[in-house]
Amino acid sequence: MKINFTQSGGYVGTIKGVEFDISKVPQNLKAELERLLEQSGLSASQTALDDSARDLQQYDLTIEDGARKAQITFDDATLPETAKPLIGFLKKHARPLT
């Protein structure tokens, strides 16, 4: 399984990201990622953006698991409560993209 995460927008407009290949990360990190992903309830492609808000962070997430691929996009206003721990974990590991 691969997880690709990009965070963009906000006041500054910086772009950060991280990619995890679950088969290549340490076991403790793998277990945490799998747990957070399962608890998030994110499994199908979806986009939910709040058009009325400005300067929100946008989160783009691609989850590839074999032949299954889900592309998910949220912003700060539409991020489901159940997905916040996963997004927090990914934000913590994200680095600026050039």
Tens-digit pLDDT profile for residues 48-81:
999 887 789 999 999 999 899 999 999 999 999 9
CA distance 13 to 93: 18
* End-to-end CA gap in the chain: 25
The DSSP 8-state label assigned to residue 67 in this structure reads T
Averaged pLDDT, 41-50: 92
Averaged pLDDT, 2-6: 97
Hunting for tokens 């206003």 — which residue is that?
Answer: 77
Annotated domain spans of the chain: 2-96
**Nearest in space to 20 (alpha carbons), one of 82, 78, 92:** 92
CA distance 78 to 42: 13
The 3-state DSSP class for residue 27 equals helix
pLDDT at 9: 86
Averaged pLDDT, 8-31: 90
